[in-house]
Amino acid sequence: MDDRTPLLVGDTSSPRAIDTQDSVDDEIENPTRPTGFKFAIVFACILLGDFFVGYDTSCVATLTPVITAEFHAIDNLGWYGIAYVLAMASTVLTFGQLYNLYPMKAIFLASFATFALGSAISATAPSSLVFIVGRAVSGFGGSGIFAGGSIIVAHTTPLKHRPIFQSLSGGMECIALALGPLASGAIEGISSWRVAFTVIVPVCITNIAAIGLLVEHLPKPKDSTLSRLEKFRTLDIAGFCTFVPGIIALILALQFGGVTVEWSDWRLTALLLIAGLLSLVFFAVQYRAGSTSLFVIGFYLSLYFQTLIPASPLQSSLLYLPTAVSFAISILLAGPLVTRTGYYTPVSALGSLLLTFGSLHVVRTFTYPAPAAVEGYSWILAQALFGTGAGLVFGQAYTAVQVELASRPEDVTTALVVLSFCQEIGGIAALAVCQNVFLSRLSTRVQVILPGVDAKRIMDAGREGWEGLVPESLVESVLGAYGETLTEVFWVGVVAALGTFAALGGVWGSVKEEEGSGMKSDEGVASSVDADVTWTLQ
151-192 pLDDT tens trace: 787 777 775 566 567 667 766 877 787 788 888 888 988 889
Task: Report, as an integer, the average pLDDT of 6-29.
Answer: 41
The distance of Cα 374 from the centroid of its chain, to the nearest Å, equals 27
Does position 69 have pLDDT exceeding 80, yes or no?
A: yes
Instruction: Write down the pTM of the prediction.
Output: 0.62
Task: Report, as an integer, the average pLDDT of 531-537.
Answer: 29
Pick the CATH number of 30-234 from 1.20.1250.20, 3.90.1150.10, 3.40.50.410, 3.30.470.10: 1.20.1250.20
- Domain 290-538 bears CATH identifier 3.40.1350: no
Does position 5 have pLDDT exceeding 50, yes or no?
A: no
Task: Report, as an integer, the average pLDDT of 213-233.
Answer: 70
pLDDT score of 219: 72
| Cis preceding linkage at 369, omega within 30 | yes
Q: pLDDT, tens digit, for every residue of 415-457?
A: 666 666 666 666 666 777 777 778 788 888 888 888 877 777 7
Highest mean pLDDT among 135-144, 223-232, 339-348, 358-367: 135-144
Average predicted confidence (pLDDT) for the chain: 73
Q: How confident is the model at residue 271 (pLDDT cuts 50, 70, 90)?
A: confident
Hey, CA dihedral for 465, 469, 471, 474, is it positive or negative? negative
Does position 90 have pLDDT exceeding 50, yes or no?
A: yes
Burial of 455 (0-12, 13-18, 19+ CB in 10 A): buried
Highest mean pLDDT among 18-27, 398-407, 441-450, 500-509: 441-450
Q: CA 380 to CA 235: how far, in whole Å? A: 47
Say if residues 345 and 535 touch (Cβ distance below 8 Å).
no
Q: CA 303 to CA 309: how far, in whole Å? A: 10
Q: How confident is the model at residue 25 (pLDDT cuts 50, 70, 90)?
A: very low
Domain boundaries, the chain: 30-234, 236-284, 290-538
Intrachain domains 30-234 and 290-538 with the same fold: yes
Q: How confident is the model at residue 4 (pLDDT cuts 50, 70, 90)?
A: very low
Say if residues 62 and 321 touch (Cβ distance below 8 Å).
no
Q: How confident is the model at residue 195 (pLDDT cuts 50, 70, 90)?
A: very high
